[in-house]
Each structure stands twice: as C-alpha cells, then as structure tokens.
Amino acid sequence: MPSAPGGPRLLLRRLREIMAEPIGAQDRLDKIVVLIAANMVAEVCSVYVMRGDGVLELFATEGLNREAVHRTTMRSGEGLVGLIAATAEPLALSDAQSHPAFSYKPETGEEIYHAFLGVPLLRAGNTLGVLVVQNRTYRMYAEEEIEALQTTAMVLAEMIAAGELQALAPVETGIALRRPVYQKGIALADGVGLGYVVPHEPRVMVKNLIAENMEAELQRLDHAIADVRTSIDELIERGDVAHHGEHREVLETFRMFAHDQGWLRRMREAVTSGLTAEAAVERVQSDNRARMQRQTDPYLRERLHDLDDLANRLLHRLVGRDLVAERGSLPDNAIIVARSMGPAALLDYDRSRLRGLVLEEGGPTSHIAIVARALGIPAVGEVANATSLTEQGDAIIVDGAAGEVQIRPSSDVEAAYAEKARLRARRQEQYLKLRDVPAVTRDGAPITLQLNAGLLVDLPHLAETRAEGVGLFRTELQFMVAERMPTASEQQSLYSAVVAAVGDLPITFRTLDIGGDKILPYMNAIEEENPALGWRAIRIGLDRPGLLRVQVRALLKAAGGHALKIMFPMVATCDEFIRAREIVEREKAHLSRHGHTLPRDLKLGAMLEVPSLLFQLKEICAVADFLSIGSNDLMQFLFASDRENRRVADRFDPLSPPMLRALKMVVDEAAMSNCELTVCGEIGGRPLEAMALIGLGYRSLSMSPASIGPVKAMLLSLDAGKVRAFLLDELERGGGGDTLRSALTQFAETHGIPI
C-alpha cells in the first residue's frame, strides 16, 4: 500500500508556502491539487465547491480532464461527491464504480479510477465543498490518510471562507458561504428587525492553522485543557451553583466531557498531523457541529451542544479573547444570535443599537422573551442551529410576529421585509397621532387604557403611549431577571422609580407572582406534579409572610404620599384575600408608628384568575376595593388547558361563549356591588377581544405598550351600544358554535372597525 511521502506535516508546510504565494485564486487551487495528489500518492485530486444555489461545481483537478473544471456539476445528494456533501462525512471506497451512488460524468474521464476517498470541506459545521482523491488501483485508504485529507480540507475551507474563491464562481450564484437560509422558529417578541449578526458568544476565528512546532502546540493544547478542567472543577467546588438543578448538571456534564479520552485523542491527533492547537480544536469541533446538525435525538443534540460549548471555552483559552469587553462595543443594527441567554445579559447590550434577537432555545414565556418584549426588540426562539448557521456580520432578518428568520437574505427577500418594517413603522406613526385623542367610543363611552409593565425599561412607554396609568406592574420580573433575591432596598428603589414615573396617574402593583412557570433561578425549585396548580403566587405569600411583608413595606414606603393600589395574584378564596389584606394593614400600622408618610389613598384588590372566585363574586366584591381579571390564567383554569403547552394553549378561544359568559357575570356583579374592575390579561390588548369586552360592559383595560395604539384605533370607531346589543344577542341565542370569533370579526368588518 503506498503511503504519503513526507506525511501530513510536510503537506501542511508546503500548503502554507502555496498559500503565501502572490498568485491568483485559480492558480493557487491548481497548485494545491497537484500537491495533495503527490503527497497522497493519488492519481487524481479534485476540489468541488458548493455554490450559492446548492450545486457542487468542480473548481480544480489534477488527474481528471481539465476541461471539466467549472463545467462538471452535481446536486447535493447526487453521486458520491453529492453524498459526501449531504452527509458531511468522509467516504473511502476501494471501488467507487460499484457503489450504488456512483454517477458517471463522461467529461471527466474518471472511468479508469477505482479507489476513491472524499471528505467534506467543513467550516463551522457547514459543508462548503468536497475534496476527493482517486487511484487507479483497488485500494483501501488508511485511517491516517483519511485524517490527513480532512486536515487539508480544513485549510481549503478556510480559503473558501476568506472569500478567495468567490470570483471563480458564477456571478449569479456565488459560493455556498453566502447562501441564504430560511429558518422557522417561534414568535417571542413582535416586530421586524433587519441587521447584522452579532454572536452572543462569538466563535473564535482560527487564523493560524498550520503549526511551526508540533511539540509546542501539543503543550499549548495540554495546558489549555488543564486550565479549562481546573476552572470547571473550581466552579463546581465553590458551590456557587445550587447543589441540584440544571446549572450543576451542565457543569457535571462539562467535567465529564473535559475528561473524555476520545475527544482528547482526536484533538491531539489533529495537532500531530501538523495543525496548531486552536486549529485542532476547531477541526474536531467542526466534525462535531456537522453531527449536531444532523442529530435528531434531543438528548444527544444537547450533549453535542455541551461539547461545542466546551470546545469554545478551549478556543477562548487558546486565543485569549475578552468577551465582556467585546459585548460593550456593539455595532449598529445588531441582531444578537445565541443558543440561549439569561434575561440580565440582554439588558447589558446597548438598546439603541439592538434590532433583534435569535435564540436556539427559549419559549414564549421564557424570561428572556419577557425582557425582549419589554424592550420592544423583535425576537424569535427555537431556531435550530442558529449559532452554527451564522457568522459575525452576516445579514439577517428577524420577524418576531411570524417567528421567522432569514439568514443572508436575497435582495428581493430583504426588500419585502424592509417594506413590512416600513408599513409597521407607518402604522406606529398613525397610532402616535392618536396619542392625545381621548379614548372614547363613538357613542361616548370613555374607556380607560392602562399599561402592563414590570421593569424600569417599560416606564418610558408611559409617555410614549400616554396611557392613563399602570394597571399591572408585575413585581416578579425584577426577581426573575436578578442573579439573587433583590434586597428590601433594591425593591423599594425600583418601586420609587415607578411611582415617580407615573406621577399623578394611578399605579397598581401586583405582589410577587412566583411559582408555576415563574421560577427564580436562585431559589431552590420544589418538584411539583402540577406546578401551575401548585404552591405559587399568594399561596407562597401567605405561607412565607416574611417575603410578602418585606415587599409590602417596600411598596408602602416607595409610594410616600402618592395614591397606591396593590393587588394579590391567584386569589382562590375570600379568606386568602382577607389574610393578605391583614398583612398590609399591619405594615401600614407599623410604618405609621415610625412616622412614615402613608399613601394618600390605598386600595387593595384581588386578581380574578381562579374560577372559584366566579362563584363568590358578591363576597369578594364586598371585601376587595377592586378586581382585576388575569384572563391568561383564568382561561387556562376554566378550560383546564395549560397556557405553556403549545399543544393545547390555543385549543380554546377566549371569545367562546363560556369565557364570555364568565366575563359577563363578573362585570355585571362588579357594577352591582360598585366594585372597580379592570382586565389586565392579554385579551385586553387584542383589538377584537377588547371590542367584545367593551360590548360586555368593561370600561378599563390594561395591556402591553404595543397594544395601546391598535386598541385605541379600534374603540374610536366603535359604537359600544351596538356591539353590546349584537354580542348579548349572540350569547342569548347560543349560536356561533364554540366561538364567536368569526361573528365578531364580521361585525367589525361591517361597521368599519379596525381590528
């Protein structure tokens, strides 16, 4: 069996010399194939490059007919070369022609060759082409030869990535590096953002591929591995991470991988073949990423991701970059791409330069999604392979309404989205014009429109929308984005800022609504079968009164002489409300004894989210100053349909007769009992649903900032009396099936009401 003269190290050294020569791209490629063929003792060496249209084109060859260069093409999956591109795996055959995938291209004259070895040109897990050697004889290629060819392929992939071959490709397609990719994810935060990729954890671009001194590189690799191992051990031993739970598991897995002999051996082998330590890590990481993209088993994918993270740590250690410093200097029109991200990290970025967020993970109720919505940043989650498909500076579009991402979009796609963004901006301008128009229906019913908020970044929306106050301040968000439990004074300072921002307008704080899906990373999670029905919200508040007391005191102090409304989440019985009220009364008395100014007017309310309250309305109205309907939870409990579970979350409609009848019961009883009433769940912010609520008799709605404009535009054209008559008649008749959505939509269309 012939063996490579000089071995891979000599090959890499010669490659480096060729790369440095001042010659054109085609000449360089031609020299490279001659060199590889000679080094591998092969009669043929060919390079196929993936064009932007996904077609593989022969770019250079030694041994096949030269006329076939730039003429022979094949689709991904077609022939042996196409197969390698599609699977991103090497293929070694002693007789290519007897392989079922072999496809004969007469112009190449390859019929006389039998042995075949092809490897993908991989970069960051993407296949950029295929490198092939062939021999006349029937022979098996040795493991070391496959390794050597893969290492060489890496150098070629870098050459392609550097853009050097772009000029050799047809103008209309370019090469695959620039290929547009469309990915469907899930909508997290509304809006359209056009910009350029900024990786949250930038990959280290390895520039120095070929080693000068193998021993020194092996040492560098060993030191870096030892460093990374020590830092993981320290993290685990320092005990910063909770003893159970996800963080610790991730670290334990890291530790396991950091000692994985197979992984270490592959990296050392890559160094022995002539690569620098960082290039060796990248080489092995690239194979791993290619596997990751094809892996469908979620558990194995997760493990491959862990390995990828570990390789990244190693690269950072070897090349020594300061990520935090880089994060501070964000370019304009930045779209952050991350595998996952904590909410606090998003707040670290310069908001004025941020145009969007793309995550490989992150559901619609994840904390990062909440923060993205609060900041008004279009965001899409669950975008498969987002980090490996993109590179720093790639053009990218985020459609946060449709849950779509366009990576390196073609110019017509870009134009379509730019138009969409312009339309949206125009609509926003129109809403802006409505800012100072009083929210009164055509027949003179005034409707109070307030904001839902939860973070400091929400407060400027008050002035932007001219909302009439904050109808729901979700105090748990401060707790959710923090690294540790906020202290009493941190809570008070946030509440003071909110009180100052609302000025004379009303403000309703909701006490901590944690538990269920709202998990605090620093609090030991309690395993529950049904967390949505478990120990949460006011139940925690009453069982751990210390927590509630601290918060109530902070609220009372922050309000000073300002009017204040406090409401309790998830109240299920009147007794719960009364006990919570007693805690507030005690705090009030305590502060008063110590000479603090008390709120000018203090109102205490209950959120109506648990159906049990529907059947004690008179009683709850008698003890509470106001009620606020949390329709998100009320819907989930009324229909026994988990709001977090995508299979069932949208199965039932709030515009269904049962929900509408429940809502009517509440508004009728509140009117009779003279109890103030608001809706602060999502339905208040959707124009069609808001129209139905007004029809039922609701006059106060609290919603996210982006909803104020559309809801106001709707109600300005609405005749409240007419929609009431229509809706009550529909409910009375019991028609409309499971939902009145289409009947109400038709009503809006007939009456020219924008919904």
If binding is defined by CB under 5 A, does position 576 make contact with Mg ion? no
Which does residue 599 touch among Mg ion, ligand PEP, none (CB within 5 to 8 A, set by kind)? Answer: none
Among 301, 474, 536, 565, contact with ligand PEP (rule: CB under 6 A): 474
Pick the closer one to ligand PEP by CB: 159 or 477.
477
Cα separation, 722 vs 708, whole angstroms: 22
CA dist 754 and 687 (Å) reads 8
Instruction: State the sign of the Cα–Cα–Cα–Cα dihedral 571, 577, 582, 585.
Output: positive
Binding residue for ligand PEP, selected from 110, 394, 576, 633, defined by CB under 6 A? 633
Beta carbons of 703 and 449 less than 8 angstroms apart = yes
Active site residue 367: yes
> Which of the listed partners (Mg ion, ligand PEP, none) does 681 bind, with a CB threshold of 5 to 8 Å by partner kind?
ligand PEP
631 binds, among ligand PEP, Mg ion, none (CB under 5 to 8 A by kind): ligand PEP
Name the residue nearer to ligand PEP (CB basis): 73 or 631: 631
Among ligand PEP, Mg ion, none, the one that 680 touches (CB under a kind-dependent 5 to 8 A) is ligand PEP
SS3 category, 650: coil
A 10 A CB-CB count for 358 gives 30
Among 73, 285, 631, 678, binds ligand PEP (CB under 6 A): 631
Residue pair 553/587 in contact (Cβ under 8 Å)? The answer is yes
With CB cut-offs between 5 and 8 Å by kind, which of Mg ion, ligand PEP, none does residue 382 bind?
none
Q: Which of 609, 689, 719, 730 touches ligand PEP by CB under 6 A?
A: 609
Q: Shortest gap between Cβ of 305 and Mg ion (angstroms)?
A: 32
Binding mask 407-426 for Mg ion (x = CB under 5 A): --------------------
Among the listed residues 82, 486, 681, 685, the single contact to ligand PEP using CB under 6 A: 681
Pairs from 165-172 (Cβ < 8 Å, separation ≥ 24)? 165/25, 165/29, 165/49, 165/59, 167/25, 168/25, 168/26, 168/29, 168/49, 168/59, 168/70, 169/49, 169/51, 169/52, 169/57, 170/51
How far apart CA 508 and CA 91 sit, in angstroms, is 66
Q: Kindly write out the interface string for residues 422-461 of this chain, putting x where it contacts ligand PEP by CB under 6 A and - elsewhere.
A: ----------------------------------------
Residue tagged active-site, from 200, 316, 367, 461: 367
Among 90, 356, 362, 630, binds ligand PEP (CB under 6 A): 630
CB of 611 to ligand PEP, least distance (A): 13
Q: What is the DSSP letter of 136?
A: S
Q: Interaction with Mg ion in 628-657: which residues (CB under 5 A)?
A: 630, 633
Compute the least distance from the CB of residue 621 to Mg ion, in Å.
20
Give, in order, the Cα–Cα distances in Å from 248 to each of 235, 363, 662: 9, 22, 45
Sign of CA pseudo-dihedral 533, 537, 541, 544: positive
d(C-alpha 540, C-alpha 531), whole Å: 12
Pick the closer one to Mg ion by CB: 88 or 604: 604
Between 395 and 638, CB nearer to ligand PEP: 638
| C-beta closer to ligand PEP: residue 183 or 702 | 702
State in angstroms the smallest separation of the CB of 447 from ligand PEP. Answer: 18
Sole residue written with tokens 């949390």: 630
- Binding letters toward Mg ion, positions 588-627, x by CB under 5 A: ---------------------x------------------
Closer to Mg ion by CB, 267 or 629: give it. 629
Question: Which one from 45, 574, 675, 680 is the annotated catalytic residue?
Answer: 680
Q: In the window 20-49, what residues touch ligand PEP (CB under 6 A)?
A: none
The stretch among 163-171, 305-313, 630-638, 715-723 that binds ligand PEP (CB under 6 A) is 630-638
Segment near ligand PEP (CB under 6 A), from 130-138, 256-264, 418-426, 627-635?
Answer: 627-635
Task: Give the three-class secondary structure for 600.
Answer: coil
CB of 734 vs ligand PEP, minimal distance in Å = 27
**Pick 309 or 642: Cβ nearer ligand PEP:** 642
Look at the chain and count its residues. 755
Interacting positions 370-399 with Mg ion (CB under 5 A): none
Angle CA(162)–CA(309)–CA(197) in degrees, nearest 5? 45
C-alpha distances in angstroms, 20 versus 14, 28, 31, 209, 280? 10, 10, 12, 13, 21
Residues 6+ apart with CB under 8 A from 136: 43, 112, 113, 114, 115
712: burial class by Cβ within 10 Å (0-12, 13-18, 19+)? buried
Residue 253: which of ligand PEP, Mg ion, none does it interact with, CB under 5 to 8 A by kind? Answer: none
> In degrees rounded to 5, what are phi and psi of residue 336?
-80, 130
Any residues with CB less than 8 A from the CB of 547 and at least 6 apart, and which? 512, 540, 541
Q: How many CB atoms lie within 10 A of CB 467?
A: 25
Q: How many residues bind ligand PEP (CB under 6 A)?
A: 10
The SS3 call for residue 126 is: strand
Q: How far is the CB of 569 from Mg ion (least distance, A)?
A: 6
Cβ proximity to Mg ion: between 287 and 609 the closer is 609
Q: How are strands ordered across the β-sheet holding 181-184?
A: 181-184, 404-407, 395-399, 192-199, 334-338, 354-359, 379-381, 186-189
Interface map 267-306 toward ligand PEP (x if CB under 6 A): ----------------------------------------
Taking CB under 6 A as the rule, does residue 632 contact ligand PEP?
yes
Is 562 marked active-site?
no
- How many residues touch Mg ion (CB under 5 A)? 3
Q: How far is the CB of 631 from Mg ion (least distance, A)?
A: 9
> What separation in angstroms does the CA of 349 have from each of 201, 218, 322, 578, 607?
13, 37, 16, 43, 34
CA distances from 589 to 508, 626, 662, 689 (A): 21, 22, 37, 42
User: What's the CA gap between 578 and 585, in Å, rounded?
Assistant: 10
Residues in the site for Mg ion, rule: CB under 5 A? 609, 630, 633
- Any idea which residues carry the catalytic annotation? 367, 680
Residues in the site for ligand PEP, rule: CB under 6 A? 472, 474, 513, 609, 630-633, 680-681
